[in-house]
A = this chain, B = another copy of it.
């Protein structure tokens, strides 16, 4: 019987060191390395990224998802979780989750001097739209499917 099950070493996967954000948001989330654990395992219904966030960088602009639950589990270092609740410390061994449809934008900021490492976990839903309450940005708006755009859907 065949099997594709095999241990995956995150450090041996290729890192995505870029960001699909338009300027001026792109530079705010770098340096950042994302390694797609779920893709490496052939998964399509969930996404699991192993992400390393450099000092001074944010995980994303503050956002919430319409259809995708998200959970962050911190593996190493310390991050500042920014939501409508304000700023909260999130340390290695802690996690936080963000239910789909809750209109409470979140982001993680590395205010320390060392890289922070975390898992970001979500279901995958093609109908998902990400809203960014603080800036003129949207993901998967009706006028710009599968892309970042202005809130009204106009492409950047």
The interface residues of chain B lying within 8 Å CB-to-CB of A97 are 5, 8, 37-38, 40-43, 48
A15 within 8 A of partner (CB): no
- Interface range on chain A (Cβ under 8 Å from partner): 35 or more
The interface residues of chain B lying within 8 Å CB-to-CB of A71 are 37-38, 41, 43, 46, 48
Tell me whether B5 and A104 are in contact (CB under 8 A).
yes
From known contacts A2-B84, A4-B104, A85-B3, infer whether A94 and B9 are also in contact, taking CB-CB under 8 Å. Answer: yes
Interface string of A1-44 (1 = CB under 8 A from B): 11111111110000000000000000000000000011011111
Tell me whether A3 and B46 are in contact (CB under 8 A).
no
Query: Among the listed B2, B46, B102, which residue makes an inter-chain contact with A69, where contact means beta carbons less than 8 Å apart?
Result: B46
Tell me whether B6 and A88 are in contact (CB under 8 A).
yes
A119 CA to B95 CA, complexed, in Å: 11
A45 CA to B97 CA, complexed, in Å: 12
Q: Tell me how far the C-beta of A81 lies from the nearest C-beta in chain B, rounded to whole angstroms.
A: 7
Give the B-binding residues of A (Cβ under 8 A).
Answer: 1-10, 37-38, 40-46, 48, 67-69, 71, 73, 75, 81, 83-85, 88-91, 93-100, 102, 104, 106, 119, 121-125
The 4 closest A-B pairs by CB, nearest first: A41-B97, A3-B85, A3-B84, A5-B83
